[in-house]
Amino acid sequence: MVVTAADAVDGTAVVAIGADASGAAAPTLHRTDLPNGLTVLSEHVPGARSVAFGAWVRAATLHESAEQMGVSHLLEHMVFKGTRSYSAQDIALSLETLGGSLDAYTEREHTSYQARVLDEHLADAATVIGELVFEPMLRLDDLALERKVILEEISMVEDTPDDIIFDVHNRALWGDHPHGYAILGTRDTVRALDVADLQALHARAYHPGRLVVAASGRVEHEQLLDVLDRAGWTQRPRGDMTPFAVDPVEAAGAHAEHVLRRDIGQTHIVLGGQGIAYGDPRRYAFAVVDMLLGGGMSSKLFQRVREELGLAYSVSTFNSSFADTGAHGVYLASAPDTAQEALDAVREVMHEVAANGLTSEELAAGKRQLRGQLVLSMEGVSSRMYRAATTALYGEPFRTVDQLMALVEAIDEDTVREVAREYFNPDRHVLVSLGPQAVR
């Protein structure tokens, strides 16, 4: 049966996304917007015996002040220290003893809590994550301990050049804008954060009006709504919906920065700039260029820098898209005396792509590769859960596999040339290096 907006569960409209007007195509994604503001999405995956369940809070690093940098990440840690019904040990044991997993992360725009369990334990996952989201204790004694953990995490990043170089590049690219903040915060900001800061963020953001819940696997939508109702999610009040103030973002102009580190054996390099926003219709054309440039062993940069010149063990591109902008670039590490030669080779390849785009043969090969990656990425219930959540977090239309393949197939050479010229010219990028010797 095709569920439409006219059907209802407990008085709440349920919309099936993916069916055509006649109902000829079976829906695969369901969405319910509950009266308290909670958005619920689910996708049943035939043949699966597990369920991926996640909750996304629409608050993260992008919504922080400079003085409170890292508060979202610290709160994400602190909820695991205990809730009204669970001790920290109870939380750790709750799903692992069932063979499942529980995890969380903080990114630029969202903070997320997810579980992967057997289908028979969906209610356990919803209950545990509900406790983490709605009922953390946020105790002063726990903060003192967890602050030390975060400071150790910062030290771990500082000891890992291929991690810290990306924080350095973010600051160089975005400056004082929150897009340039360190997700972990700084030592000074983490030390200054107190329980009142965590409580204020929790009260403002951790409520149904700012939450998206998604599940994928062996789950039916009505079942998920019932599980959430029994776990108390539907009875929670909407909460403060005052918009977070986020200034418009503009990337810095092309320049170079170097962080001197004499204690490491390589020069680490990031060359990158402003990328493509999530809703840009050229996103798939961008993805093809990015993938062929540095997406694997067959990519132009890997073949040139590693296979032909032997100047780096690894060279790759990276890309992150956000609601308002994006960031992308190239990362590599090379010995100090060969780092400049490696960077020159990268620029040479990028200049050629920016000037000429891709040949028809390269574009055809890129389409095949991207189609394969898209389909393979949807083989797991966790990746399908993320895709379901994305439809609500970014207003992304839900598309069937065939519709995604059609979008990839529709990529044309003119659009490829346009995004290559606009985004992949290295002369417009910010260069950051870290190591014993600078590059230019």
CA within 13 Å, CB half, 414: 1
Structure tokens, 217: 């696997």
Distances (CA, A) of 272 to 34, 217, 265, 283, 314: 41, 37, 23, 17, 17
End-to-end CA distance of the chain: 62
Please list, residue by residue across 59-79, b when 16 or more beta carbons sit within 10 angstroms of its beta carbon and e when fewer do: bbbbbbeeebbbbbbbbbbbb
Closest listed residue to residue 62, CA positions, set 213, 182, 203? 182
Closest listed residue to residue 83, CA positions, set 128, 141, 149, 38? 128
Selected catalytic residue, list 64, 76, 109, 131? 76
Secondary structure letter of residue 431 according to DSSP: E
Annotated active-site residue 76? The verdict is: yes
Structure tokens, 430: 């910010």
Hey, what long-range contacts does 238-242 have (CB within 8 A, 24 or more apart)? Answer: 238/36, 238/37, 238/207, 238/208, 238/209, 239/37, 239/203, 239/204, 239/206, 239/207, 239/208, 239/209, 239/210, 240/203, 240/204, 240/207, 240/209, 241/37, 241/209, 241/210, 242/204
Say if CB 82 and CB 139 are below 8 A apart: yes
* Catalytic residue positions, numbered: 76
